[in-house]
Structure 1
Amino acid sequence: MKCFKILLFAVCIHISLATKLKERFSWKEVSYAWTSDQQKTEAITDGRYKSENNLILGLDVWKDKLFITVPRWKSGVASSLNYVNLSSTEQSPSLIPYPSWETNTVFADVSKGPERLGGRADAPSAQVVNGQLHDNASIISTFRIQVDECDRLWVMDCGLADILGEPKLIAKPALVIFDLNTDTLIRRYTFSDSDVVQNSFLANVIVDVPKQQCDNAYAYVPDLGGYGVVVYSFKENKSWRVKHNYFHFDPLEGDFLVGGVNFQWTDGVFGMALGKQTNEGTRDVYFHALASTKEFSVPNYVLQNETRATSPQNYNDFKLVGDRGVNGQSTAEAVHEKTNVLFYTQVNKDSIGCWNINKEFNLDKQGLVDSDGTALVFPNDLKIDRNDNLWILSDRLPVYMYKKLDPEQYNYRILSGPINELILGTPCE
């Protein structure tokens, strides 16, 4: 009996170690791969680079490239869309602008007065700017990105700069799509006025590609400030806005405590994930508001049918899946199709959770992948790569927004781990 207890203890220790995410990269402050010392010096002198204002937020993986976004929350962000090489042995590698420095350089002529055009509800009014984009591939400010099955990088460009300072609308919100094999622009789609409402903030993008039908892709863009979802058809090159009560925040779940900072948000739908695809290309689309603990779903064929999706009679097409429980607010989620496991961040708990979509969504069936009061302070983004690895980005965003980050500490981290090991011993297995 004693030997059995010792063996059981050893097994538990093995499972605990196996389910921990491993830190791949970390930064105290963000640095860039400048073309020369002169370029860096000029950027600092001109105020185009202020190291303390550059915060990493979104990520995705393609081959040896780890894409990293740096939204223009404040002035002095040198480049918004970047990557580092996964083969890099540096702990804090410099970010390389993608596809080029020119693409990430903002040209603007501030010439008009203030007008509210989007951004966080607690940000000042934005200013209209006569944008002088270098070309259609220009990236103003991106939060979230996604690599699809067709080797394309979809970038949700909100078009806003200096969001927490003196917001400037450099360009209207747009989807910018690149061919990763050639690093060239495929298309820039600017959303129409009917796609946005007052306080709209388009920051995330989920790409739904039917099997072997790259040209028939759809993008789902949650509007966390305007409480809606914009659907874009790549084939038709058009978009439409979907409304539903489930896109709104929960007034009882808007209180957050992260990294010692207490704050209140009213962010609506933001996290989205695609369920397992059938042979016909149908699947559920999971979603939740950031200021909420509840999970919902809707069939993708509902969102893709403009008439049905925009009809006032669409209410019952949307379903309540379940609740993540107390302090279960989440910024991002993704489904691993091979295991049917949905992974999600838990920002109030410094942790990553999981749930097998074949099971009932309740607290007994939800698992804890990892929790860390240092490495996972505000886990902001989450992705799954083609090699069945889970990737997490944490960035202490509330401290950045409401206080000040300590430049002597590691503030930004990217962690990863093999999914089969991460779910070992959890209810998600």
Structure 2
Amino acid sequence: MLVGSWLLFWLLAVGERVSGQQPTFGKQLKAVTQWKSLDFVFSSPTERAEAIASGRFIPANCVPLDMEVDYNSSPLRSRIFVTVPRFIEGIPVTLGTISSQQGVSGPLIEPYPNAAIQSNPENRRCDGIVSVFRTTIDECNRLWIVDTGKIGDRRICLPKIVAFDLRSNQIIHRYEIPADQLVCDVSLLVNILVEVRDPPPTGACSKTMAYVADVTAFGLIVYDMSRGKSWRVTNKLMNPNPDYGTFTIADESFDLMDGILTMALSPRVQFPDFSFNSAYRGSRTSYSSVLQNDRLLFFHALASISENAVRTSVLQNNTAWEQDVGAMPRAFRVIGRRTSQSAPEAMDSNGNLFFGLLSQTAIACWDSTTNYNPHNFRIVAQNLETLQFPSGLKVIRNRKGVEELWVLSCRFQKIMAGTLNTNETNFRIQAMQIPELLDGLRSCSSRR
């Protein structure tokens, strides 16, 4: 479903807030939408009732994890995509858009691109969509997903990378990850980052790389669309750290040993003094010379406080990785550490990295021309109620060319602890234009 751009503008401008919120630090992100529990668009009330009766739809099992915003496929209307992974049975839609129809607990989710491609995921046809954790839109107006191929721990199909043309809403690219690049039934591919190396307006969008995180087998799948091939990359920095496998959020704790979860790319422009220099201290190769025709891929494991980086040229050297999935171990560097575990991250065009701090129920920002440490972090938003487990975070450029920070929070600690109360607001999407978030400054390290 399409959401009017005037509505998004109004929500962002007015800053609709949930009653009772108490700001604690930084700015307060502006509410876009929220749910107590998720509900979906069905063809009829009868179909919905049948889905509930059969167990195909169990409302308590449906948890939104990520979102994306499409400003460009229509000049008049925008739409918000939402992913609902099939952690468990009872989830009728795993990829959808927020519709204009209002349910009892929030706006209804409409299947994207249609219901048929997501229904009956257990039929093993494997030409539909089984389960999607996260999604991204590239500069070429393509929506990318990685389908895990799993329901819970059960492998239904091999995972696949799928791209949709957002103007036609048709699948324009599909690639199945080879079984020999997975770790038996352990692998779970939960995130995809796309790098277009020949972007518009001059490029043809054909030279596209995708980086896919394997959160449970601790690796990356690197995919070269132009060559139609992929390879597996592993490094010890993709592993979880047992010291940080316990998460405490809003006084509730759970244990989860997830490895590499999230990634972000440095901007295409060069920085004269980038923090990767400190990681290469003593090396004759400076960051500025390395990045003449290169970018950095930042990444971290969920159960960790370390932020890491590797040059994309290293990842794209398929010959080395096809010979040894653990090749070039010292090409990956720890660039610094946080005070808390973090889930998603995203970088803006000025090199500011935004990320959640889970234990602090906050969103932080780091200027990537400085050393990565808490002294150089800026808390740009913090709220004990509305920022419980930010699980989706995106930097999105609107029609006016202004970058916005969008955040989806899902109270994941309550899901893990079994304490989710569907009479309370549990899932929220919030946003703010980055110039407003940073008080009009280009860098989150700048001070007036």
TM-score range, shorter chain: 0.7 to 0.9
Aligned to 1:44: 52
Would the aligned equivalents of 2:194 and 2:210 in 1 still touch at CA under 8 Å? yes
Aligned to 2:385: 374
Aligned to 1:154: 144
Aligned to 1:132: 125
The partner residue of 2:424 within 409, 418, 427 is 409
Aligned to 1:71: 85
Q: Counterparts of 2:38 and 2:121 in 1: how far apart (Å)?
A: 22
State the percentage of identical aligned residues.
32
Would the aligned equivalents of 1:333 and 1:343 in 2 still touch at CA under 8 Å? yes
Q: Counterparts of 1:89 and 1:72 in 2: how far apart (Å)?
A: 23
Would the aligned equivalents of 1:29 and 1:52 in 2 still touch at CA under 8 Å? yes
Q: Is residue 2:340 matched to residue 1:323?
A: no
Q: Give the letter aligned to residue 283 of structure 1.
A: R
Q: Deviations over 1:112-169 (max 9, x none)?
A: xxxxxxxxxxxxxxxxxxx134xx3x211110111111111111111111x1xxx432
Q: Counterparts of 2:154 and 2:329 in 1: how far apart (Å)?
A: 36
Q: Give the letter aligned to residue 125 of structure 2.
A: Q
- Alignment of structure 1 residues 152-231 onto 2, 5 Å: 152-161=142-151, 163=152, 167-198=153-184, 199-212=186-199, 213=203, 214-231=205-222
Q: Is residue 2:263 matched to residue 1:263?
A: no
Q: Give the letter aligned to residue 59 of structure 1.
A: M
Sort the Cα spacing of 1:318 and 1:261 in 2 relative to 1 into closer, same or farther, 3 A: same
Q: Deviations over 1:186-208 (max 9, x none)?
A: 12211112211142111111001
Would the aligned equivalents of 1:347 and 1:380 in 2 still touch at CA under 8 Å? no
* Count of aligned pairs between the two proteins: 383
Q: Give the letter aligned to residue 416 of structure 1.
A: A
Aligned to 2:363: 352
Q: CA deviation at 1:336?
A: 0.1
Would the aligned equivalents of 2:143 and 2:164 in 1 still touch at CA under 8 Å? yes
Q: Is residue 2:97 matched to residue 1:104?
A: no
Q: Give the letter aligned to residue 155 of structure 1.
A: I
Would the aligned equivalents of 1:58 and 1:381 in 2 still touch at CA under 8 Å? yes
Q: Give the letter aligned to residue 111 of structure 2.
A: P
Aligned to 1:23: 31
Q: Is residue 2:348 matched to residue 1:336?
A: yes
Sort the Cα spacing of 1:321 and 1:170 in 2 relative to 1 into closer, same or farther, 3 A: same
Aligned CA-pair RMSD: 2.2
The partner residue of 1:364 within 375, 380, 384 is 375
Q: CA deviation at 1:400?
A: 1.3
Q: Counterparts of 2:435 and 2:132 in 1: how far apart (Å)?
A: 31
Would the aligned equivalents of 2:212 and 2:221 in 1 still touch at CA under 8 Å? yes
Q: CA deviation at 1:17?
A: 9.1
Q: Counterparts of 2:335 and 2:66 in 1: how far apart (Å)?
A: 26
The partner residue of 2:406 within 391, 395, 401 is 391
Q: Is residue 2:291 matched to residue 1:304?
A: no
Q: CA deviation at 1:368?
A: 0.4
SS state of the match for residue 31, structure 2? Answer: strand
Aligned to 2:4: none
Q: Deviations over 1:218-266 (max 9, x none)?
A: 1101111111111011111111000111111122221211243222221
